Structure 1
Amino acid sequence: MPDFRSFQLKLVVLEQLVDDELTARLRALAGDAYSYGHYEPVPESERLLRGLDLPDERLAGVTSLVFDGGLAIYDLLTPGWDGESDELDTTDLTDLGLLRNLEEFVVVSMIPDEVDVTPLLARPNLRRVHWRRIARDEAVATQLRARGVEVGPG
């Protein structure tokens, strides 16, 4: 069973995999979300999501990732979160190695500019990267383009 080093990246992956049953469980756990504070994750929800096993077969179905502060998974974890603070930012992309069929990587927000982008190079099925920051790492952008990956701003 693959293990994620980055809980924040796992959340973005879960955005692609969440189903009605998990959504209902998380909403039930949240109860009165504001009793936890506007920006604090619901502790039971965080434990559930951190401990959720994602077998290779499920991860193989993830072909697209979109990083954006408005993802539904963030609201399920932290119902009062406004998307403006950085505690849910993804700061490590190493776990992209768990996503063998990743084709599209789109960043609107939620990844700081200083994050190492080289894990993108190890994704053989990658076809599209849209992220304004990618232009700052011309070596990575050039290698991706040489493989036929569409690279551009988000």
Structure 2
Amino acid sequence: MAQFKDFNFKLLVIEKLMYEDETLTPAFSIDERMRDRGIADTVTYVYDNDLAFSVLEESRTYFEQLEISDELLASVDELLLDGGHQVYYECSPVWDGEDDLFDVRSLDDLALLPNLRLIDNADMLTLPDAEDQLAARGIEAG
């Protein structure tokens, strides 16, 4: 199984496969996990426990340990950078998109996606050489 180096890049892939394409199943739900623990309202729990604007440990552990087959990785031909992704809610239910919590910090994981052809909203990448790295792999920055 593929090993991702950048957690935030992996989240982009999970967004595509789990929440958009629905091919990586079952879909993770932090609200369901919290209900299983007897917590009725995830957002209230997050605020009451000073966990706002951080990745919940339960979510981080789940997504870090989640294995994605090479076959599913090969199916990814497009990624979208967008602060409104479902996977971000599942990680940080009250995140407002106003900080760098989910910024991709490395594009080393591009090698795991052999058929990636487009990263939409690539201008949101804050890496100084992102455009060059994408172009070197024949990936369009949309």
Q: Identify if the C-alpha distance between structure 1 residues 65 and 17 changes in structure 2 by more than 3 Å, giving closer, same or farther.
A: same
Contact 2:131–2:141 under 8 Å retained in 1: no
| 2:114 paired residue number | 100
Match of 1:33 in 2: 43
After superposing on structure 2, the runs of 4+ consecutive aligned residues of structure 1 that deviate more than 4 Å are none
* Residue aligning to 1:76: 90
TM-score, reference length from structure 2: 0.78
| RMSD of aligned Cα (Å) | 2.1
**Over residues 53-86 of structure 1, what are the superposed CA-to-partner deviations in whole Å (9 max), with x where a residue is unaligned?**
1111010011101111111110111111011111
Q: Which runs of 5+ in 2 are unaligned?
A: 36-41
CA contact (8 A) 2:77 2:118 kept: yes
Q: Does 1:60 align with 2:74?
A: yes
Amino-acid identity (%): 31
- Listed as ranges, the matches of 1:110-129 within 5 Å are 110-124=124-138, 126=139, 128-129=140-141
TM-score by length of 1: 0.72
Q: Deviations over 1:74-133 (max 9, x none)?
A: 011111101111121012111111110011111266521525443313435x3x322xxx
CA distance in 1, matches of 2:34, 2:136: 37
Q: How many residues align?
A: 127
